[in-house]
Structures are given as C-alpha cells and as structure tokens.
Chain A
C-alpha cells in the first residue's frame, strides 16, 4: 500500500525566514537531492569517472532530444498545423512554422463541428459516470470489506472474474443489453445512462477499493460501532476520510476512461446530438478541411492534457498501484 499512501501531497512546511532565504534553501535542497538517491545498475563512482561522465551526458542529451522529437514534436506539429493555411499544409516541404499566428481554423472547428456541444456531452458523461461509480463502487467495496455479508466472497469473486473477460469480446451483447434492458425493456441508447451505469460495473475499481478498505484497522471501526454508529455513518465519518488517496485514484481513472473511450460511445451514442467528443470528431473527420480537423484534434486533447498536468502524480501513482500490486 506504500505507493497509495504516498499519493498524499507531502506537507511542505513554510520556511520561517524571509522569503528569499527560503527559496535559496529550497533550491539547495533540490540540487542536493540527486546525490542521495539509491544506486542503480551503474554505480555513482562509475558514472563520475572521466568516461562515465562523458557517456552519461551523451546519453542524457540523446534521450532528451529523441524523446522530445518522438513525443512532443507530433503535438507541436498538430498545434501549429492547425494555424497553417491549406496551401502551407499542401506544400512539400511544409514550412516549419505557420506564416502567421491565425486561429481561424480553431474558430471554424468550434462552429462547424459543434465542439461546444460535444464537449458538454462528454463532461456530462464523465461527471455522471464518476458520481455513480463513486457512490455504488465505494459502498459495495465497503460492504464486501467490512460488513462481510453471506455470499460476500462469491459476489466479490464474480465481480473480479469480469476482469478476466476482455471488454471488446462482449461488446455486442452489451450493446444489445443497453438497447433493450432485460426485465424493464428500456432502450438506453442515446441516453447518458448508457455510459453511466456500465461504468459502475468495473471490477478493477472494486478490487482497488476493497483492498484499500481491508487495510483500514478493525479497531478504528469497532470504536465507532460501540458508540452506536450505523454502517452508513461509519462509512461516511470513518472510512471515507482515511480513503481519500484511493478515491482520488478511482475518480481520475473513471473520468479519464470515459473521456478517452471511443468504441463504447461509438456504439451506444450514435445520435449526432449525443456524441462524445472523440466520436463526434471522428464521425465528421472525412468532411472537414484538413486544418479545421487538426484544430478540432487540438481542442479535444486540451482537457486531458490539462488534467494530466494537474493530477500527474496521482495518475502515475495510480497506474503503478494497479499493476505492480495486482
């Protein structure tokens, strides 16, 4: 659980002295940090030798340049490509930078593809999925972990077993279920429910939450129980406050998954009015001028990149939490 508890932001104490002194101390601390790190394959001594240093710096520069070229340059090309005129885009070789900073393509993309509506739809889908997932999965994991009902283990097993079934292979029956919900005979196609409710049925969330709740000491709950607190009160007052890190991970996963998902919304939200941003752009991509389409791609990637900027640590920690300890 170490990497989950490590998710909490370290509480940085404000230095008491004048600000400049504090900043200097902060900088000094940062500069000292690399030398105190654990050793890896290459020892510090080897790295600091004459040749070691040369090889180290050459590798560092090589990695920096190639990573920037491979992972950042395509995004740069996308952002600037949307500012180029159709003529510039068709040139061979195309100019490295657009002749002028011109946002008309972005405007056009926003208007022609109705990106405002698509973004609003996607926000609604992601927010609802997040809410339902938190309410249903947290309470289910709490019940399985702390209340331990009859058949609890069977239910847990059945929920985790769904992780063994790849999502794509049950795509067709899942679509048909949403099209005509058994017993109720509701058609959920083109409604937000088609995204919200299936998002809850996520064995991985149950697994992460239950494992975290298992690690909460019994004594903590028993003390509240003796005070006569009901299970829902214990969940609200005792379990939730200590589970903030894992709830953060589940929240980010849920929102990002809904936002990035393509295949499921492609099937269940075929109405142009109801489409998610990815599906909407893809469905209009063939009819759009090149620079308009590229501008739309930029606009669609801004939200996820911003989320990544803000929650970087949580996303990366959550990524390893799932796979390393799984």
Chain B
C-alpha cells in the first residue's frame, strides 16, 4: 500500500489532525449543549439539591440555615411516618402479588393461544393507555359505596356492598386494584415478547424427556425468562414504592392514615405545610431505599448484556 488509506483519518500530517480533533470536539459540544443544559438544570442539580435541602431549614425568604438532622427528626416524630412506610411496603407487596405473577401467567396463556391474539394484546394494554388520572377517577366512581359499579355487581350476586375507600380495612386494597388494573398490560406484553424468544427445541427436548406442562414451564419457560423476570421485579418495586396518584386522588391518605404513602406524605410536607426540608428528608430516605433496588437492577442488566 503506497498511499495512506483514506479511511484512516489524519494519517498524514499532525497539525491537521489536532485541528480536526478540536473541530470535532467543538461541534460535538455544540450538539450536546441543549441536552447538557436541560440535564444540568432539571436532573443533576435537583439530585444534588435533594441532599442539601434535607439538611437545611429554608423558607425561601431568609437565607437557609443548616440544621443537621433536624428535618429527619421532624419526620420521624410524625404520627403519619410509620403508617406511610408500612402502607407503602404493604401496597408494594400486594401490587407484586397481583401485578407481578398474574401478568406472567397471562402472558404464558396468551402465548399458547392461536386465535384472537391481536385483540387480546390490544385489550390488555388498553388501560395502560388511559391517562392514570382518568383511570383512577373512573375507579373512584366504581368504588362509590352507594351505586358504584362494584357494589352493583356485589348486589347482583346478592352480597352486601362494601365501603371500599371509606373503610380502613379495604381502602389500601382498593388502591392496589386500580393500580394493578392500569399497569397490568405493560408487564404482560413485555413477558409475552420474552416468551416468544424461547427456542422451540427446548420444549421439544423437554417433551421427549417426558416433562408435562407444569414441568415444561418450571424447567424451560422460567429459566429462559429468568433475567427479564428479575428485571421486572426490581422495576416494579421501584415504580410501586413511589405510589402517589392513587392516594392523592382517591383517599387523601385516609381513612385514619390507612392509605398515606411516603411520596404522599412528602407532597403534604411541601405543599400543605410548606416544609420543604422535612419533605426532602423523606424523599432522601426513599431515594436511599430505592437505590438498593436500582443498583441490583443495574447489575442484573449488565449481566444480561455481558
């Protein structure tokens, strides 16, 4: 090769190479500038500020004062603190029971069906497309202890009506039902896509070995979708622990704090009591808890790619 290959940039002269690199970097940062500014202002800075706010007393008129762990103490001593965490955890666990295992089972069944697949896929995803506020307000009407849809149906079955959102024993469960209804579709479709990547030979081999349907699921389907199952578990925990819109629109945290959640309490601190310090402290605690799951998620998705 007598002539330098044209695909090797800057092989000939040093100064042009330097100039070229400079130009490339300048234009790269030009392209990056818009996104960099938005990330800096609306993502990176708020994350840092979360830590700062948690340790300050700030009324946004006088200069902020560092108060150490006072905000955390305020939050700890709140009578709603314990119910908020307990409710959030119970809500997350209940949402997992309904919203984690059921979509997987639905996906398995849908994957076996040979008819009406497009319809079923469309229908299961329909509630996901509703604006969440619409879905929640719709269920608020269904939960009406008088002539709401659910009590109508109980009435048809000659069962006594429930007070749903108004009773401490059913309020949280009612929230879980709405939340599951409106989120079930995305999990189902993700599992369905994962199931379709399982090679047929594995099932054939399992069948030749005499494995029945249950054992085929146990020994082929689940191991083959193990990673996506783990990822979805973590993502769902992270998403449901941030529950806010359901208590905000349905119950206002009541009755008797039966549905107050951590994010709802955080919202109340900031916007009802204008105590952003205590609110941020609460947000920081939730962040640290959720980081555990985020880090686990990161490790699993690394393993999956590598």
Selected contact of B207 from candidates A3, A43, A256, CB within 8 Å: A43
Contact of A168 with B by CB under 8 A? yes
CB <8 Å contact, A63 and B120: yes
Kindly supply a per-residue 1/0 record for chain A positions 212-245, scoring 1 wherever the CB is within 8 Å of any chain B CB and 0 otherwise.
0000000100100110001110010000000000
**Chain B residues with CB below 8 A from A277, complex form:** 131
CA distance A294 to B43 in the complex (A): 36
**Chain B residues with CB below 8 A from A147, complex form:** 24-25, 27-28, 31
Contact of B279 with A by CB under 8 A? yes
Q: Which A123-178 residues have C-beta < 8 A from chain B? A: 132, 135-137, 139-140, 142-144, 147-150, 152, 155, 158-159, 162, 164-178
CB distance from B189 to the nearest CB of A (A): 6
Selected contact of B114 from candidates A34, A144, A180, A297, CB within 8 Å: A34
Contact of A103 with B by CB under 8 A? no
* Size bin of chain A's contact surface: 35 or more
CB <8 Å contact, A136 and B133: no
**Beyond A40-B112, A136-B38, is A92–B152 a contact (Cβ under 8 Å)?**
yes
CB <8 Å contact, A89 and B203: no
Q: Which A14-63 residues have C-beta < 8 A from chain B? A: 34, 37-43, 47, 56, 59-60, 63
CB <8 Å contact, B207 and A181: no
Selected contact of B32 from candidates A132, A143, A222, A232, CB within 8 Å: A143
**Chain A residues with CB below 8 A from B81, complex form:** none
Contact of A72 with B by CB under 8 A? yes
CB <8 Å contact, A169 and B242: yes
Contact of B96 with A by CB under 8 A? no
**Beyond A149-B28, A324-B228, is A176–B47 a contact (Cβ under 8 Å)?**
no
**Beyond A169-B242, A301-B131, is A41–B42 a contact (Cβ under 8 Å)?**
no
- Beyond the given pairs A132-B38, A143-B29, 18 more chain A to chain B contacts, judged by CB atoms under 8 angstroms and listed by A's residue number, are A40-B203, A41-B217, A63-B109, A67-B124, A93-B156, A139-B35, A159-B43, A170-B47, A172-B50, A172-B280, A177-B49, A180-B60, A222-B7, A278-B133, A282-B249, A293-B137, A305-B129, A326-B231
Secondary structure of the B contact surface, majority rule = helix
Contact of A259 with B by CB under 8 A? yes
CA distance A222 to B217 in the complex (A): 49
Contact of B147 with A by CB under 8 A? yes
Contact of A116 with B by CB under 8 A? no
CB distance from B274 to the nearest CB of A (A): 11
**Chain B residues with CB below 8 A from A159, complex form:** 35, 39, 43
**Chain B residues with CB below 8 A from A37, complex form:** 114
CA distance A74 to B283 in the complex (A): 35
Q: B interface vs A, CB < 8 Å?
A: 6-7, 9, 24-25, 27-32, 34-36, 38-39, 41-47, 49-50, 53, 60, 108-116, 119-127, 129-134, 137-138, 140-142, 146-147, 149, 152, 155-156, 181, 185-186, 189-190, 193-198, 200, 203-204, 207, 213, 216-217, 220-221, 228, 231-232, 235, 238-239, 241-242, 244-245, 249, 263, 266-267, 270-271, 276, 279-280, 283-284, 286-287, 290-291, 294-295, 297-298, 301, 305
CA distance A258 to B198 in the complex (A): 35
**Chain B residues with CB below 8 A from A232, complex form:** 27, 31
**Beyond A170-B46, A278-B134, is A139–B32 a contact (Cβ under 8 Å)?**
yes
